[in-house]
Copies of this chain bind each other. A is one copy, B any other.
């Protein structure tokens, strides 16, 4: 067992029975990697006392830090707390701070404290409590014989907030690790294999000490560069050079760096330009508006949306000529031009996005297959359009169209600037 090694223990029948896909340990492993901590083992055990206690003992032999998720609910099948109390030979007691925080959280949700909530404030006496800002199950931090055991809720958003706000910063401060520096380059609307072909000369010329990884999701690929060493300034210089060198190959696909989401980048461009936006969404059904309004402060630049799912509404709200439906149909360039231009006027926005397409699985015709989408962006100067040919799956088509639309808006805002 070497220094700075980590094991993750996931507790829960729902994972072993195949009812829940464990994405927590995947996220944690990425975060540990950023810090230069070495994940050496992952274990999933049932909601079963003996199995949990054995997993604790085995993990302690393999790693210095043991991260535990799950099993912290107030019900009988949640065994993590009693097992930790037994393992560390300490009683379960009410932590007044935990109780106060649970009360506050429930108050903010307009609810009263009940006996189950009180039970969630009960923790093994020898632990340090970790606040849970998004739920009623506090985390726990134990130290014994140079080993650290940390228990967190299994609910992903609660676990991630706890890790990000409290646990990872403590790790960073405490462990003298080699310095690991990353750069994340975020691209969209280019497939992973096309991207890899495009940047091959850049990859071949990369300094040997840089490690490269790709993380694809729908419509996006993150490129991660990692440098490890002991001279932070030197690592930063090498990484900055690599990021500068990739630009000629990928410029129009790179929308941001690090944790920046596409909709935040677009929001910042709109703020800077003092422009407002509206959307007229048919096939995307509100997905673009939902992304834009997920960003705090978006009311400063988002005017609103219309989702006219049927032709009569496209005519009524956006004055799309009825002749368009009879000749070229609603999934057409003529239709999205009218939608975008009239949405711009109707919502009093500087720029408007319009979508019309066949998300599937139904709705295809001989000339118009599932995955055909028309996209338009209207600005005060002119209206641009694009024809997309996407896939067979409904949720994929909706998400990918939203990514394309936001990226085209990004490019449009940059070009006009």
Chain A positions near chain B (C-beta within 8 angstroms) = 10, 13-23, 25-33, 39-47, 51, 58, 73-75, 77, 105, 108-111, 114-117, 120, 134, 136, 155, 157, 182, 191-194, 196-197, 211-217, 224, 226, 281, 285-290, 292-294, 296-299, 302-310, 312-313, 316-317, 346-348, 359-363, 371, 389-396, 398
Contact = CB atoms under 8 A, between A and B. Distances in A.
A304 B313 CA distance: 8
A302 B75 CA distance: 40
Nearest to A134: B393
Nearest to A136: B193
A371 B191 CA distance: 39
Nearest to A292: B285
A13 B191 CA distance: 21
A15 B43 contact: no
Contacts of A51: 40-41
A317 B58 CA distance: 64
A398 B293 contact: yes
A297 B74 CA distance: 40
7 contacts: A18-B32, A105-B391, A114-B194, A116-B192, A136-B193, A285-B292, A302-B309
Contact of A155 (B30, B216, B285, B294): B216
Contact of A299 (B47, B110, B226, B363): B363
Contact of A58 (B47, B58, B74): B58
Contact of A17 (B18, B33, B116, B194): B33
Contacts of A389: 109-110
Given A294-B395, A393-B134, A18 B26 contact: yes
Q: Is the interface of A mostly helix, strand, loop or mixed?
A: mixed
Contacts of A197: 114-116
A171 to B, nearest CB: 15
A391 B286 contact: no
B44 A17 contact: no
Nearest to A29: B18
Contacts of A114: 193-194, 197
A257 to B, nearest CB: 14
A134 to B, nearest CB: 7
Nearest to A388: B110
A47 B217 CA distance: 19
A27 B18 contact: yes
A312 B213 contact: no
A105 B391 CA distance: 8
A305 B280 CA distance: 10
Nearest to A41: B45
A32 B15 CA distance: 12
Contacts of A213: 13-14, 19, 47, 75, 77
Contacts of A317: 306
A108 to B, nearest CB: 6
B307 A214 contact: no
